[in-house]
Amino acid sequence: MMIENIPFGIPLIGGLLIGFSSVLLLLLLGRLAGISGIVWGAVSAQPDNAWRWTFIVGLVAGPWLFHTLSATPYPAPSPLEWWHAAIGGLLVGFGTNLGSGCTSGHGVCGIGRLSPRGFVATLTFMATGFITVYVIRHVIGGL
Amino acid sequence: MKALIGLLCGMIFGTGLAVSGMTDTAKVLGFLDLLGDWVPDLAFVMGGAVLVTLVSFPLILKRTGPVLGRKFFLPASSVLDGKLLGGAAIFGIGWGVYGYCPGPALSASVYLDEKTFVFIGAMLLGMAIASRVGRAL
């Protein structure tokens, strides 16, 4: 049976890879794979930083290899405007830094180690994400 | 060696994001559109990832330290404070506006859509502002 025939088999495989990467990083380097923390640590020149920069390089190189080797087309570019990207990016950067984590650090890793902060943060950003899309798409009919 | 492990882990992580479609804002926003034409994919991505960490992390953390290094670097804080809740709430709003969280935004830069670079630049600016504001709070 091919994996693409299993409902949601492909997203599940992707999720398992993300989990596996987080396990390797914790087991080998003792670090949590929280992307917002890794990015901020890298650009704010924390000590022992080489692994952060190479992780970021890998984060870009991995998808490039995947699309190239599997001949999977790139997803369609977002139909939204540049200023949506600017507002979204600013809020994501501000919120993840203030709240000490994003989907990976609080969600994948935080829940994995049964951290109450991880659970609460994940429920919170999921809730505001749902509400935001609801308001944009169904209340004001697009930004 | 640490740099090489960082590279390998980043590549596996990024591949997972691309394979699962999380580098596609349409899929992410489709998932967040709970009461619209719902796209469940992200639930399986998150579920698959958490399944692996839930089983493995407790076993790993029984060790006195990682394979390379003396100790685990874990967050010291365990309080549920306003910074955590407010930060997570603001992050979720930004996620819902454009459809990227930090990892997928970086991975999607390989597609060379200029809006992705606007997102990443704004995200770094937001982090810099919050690191100043956060210290004052």
Which residues 43-82 on chain A approach chain B with CB closer than 8 angstroms?
Answer: 43-44, 48, 50-67, 72, 74-78, 80-82
Residue whose tokens read 């970086």: B106
Q: What is the domain count for chain B?
A: 1
Contact A18, A12 (CB under 8 A): no
The arithmetic mean of pLDDT across residues A75-79, rounded, is: 96
The arithmetic mean of pLDDT across residues A97-122, rounded, is: 96
* Domain coverage including residue B66: 2-136
**A4 has a pLDDT exceeding 90:** no
Contacts of B47 in chain A (CB under 8 A): 12, 15
Contacts of B16 in chain A (CB under 8 A): 13-18, 20-21, 62
- Of the pLDDT bands very low, low, confident and very high (cuts 50, 70, 90), residue A1 is low
ipTM tops the 0.85 cut: yes
Q: What is the pLDDT of residues B17-65, one digit of tens each?
A: 999 999 999 999 999 999 999 999 999 999 999 999 999 999 999 999 9
Contact A115, B128 (CB under 8 A): no
By percentage, how much of chain B surpasses pLDDT 90? 93
C-alpha to C-alpha distance for B50 and A19, rounded to whole angstroms: 6
A65: nearest CA in chain B?
A: B15
Say yes or no for a CB contact (<8 Å) between A20 and B12: yes
Give just the sign of the alpha carbon dihedral A81, B133, A122, A6: positive
As a whole number, the mean pLDDT across chain A is 95
Contacts of A31 in chain B (CB under 8 A): 66, 73
The arithmetic mean of pLDDT across residues A2-21, rounded, is: 90
> Measured between CB atoms, does B33 come within 8 Å of chain A?
yes
C-alpha to C-alpha distance for B101 and B90, rounded to whole angstroms: 12
**A31 has a pLDDT exceeding 80:** yes
A130: nearest CA in chain B?
A: B32
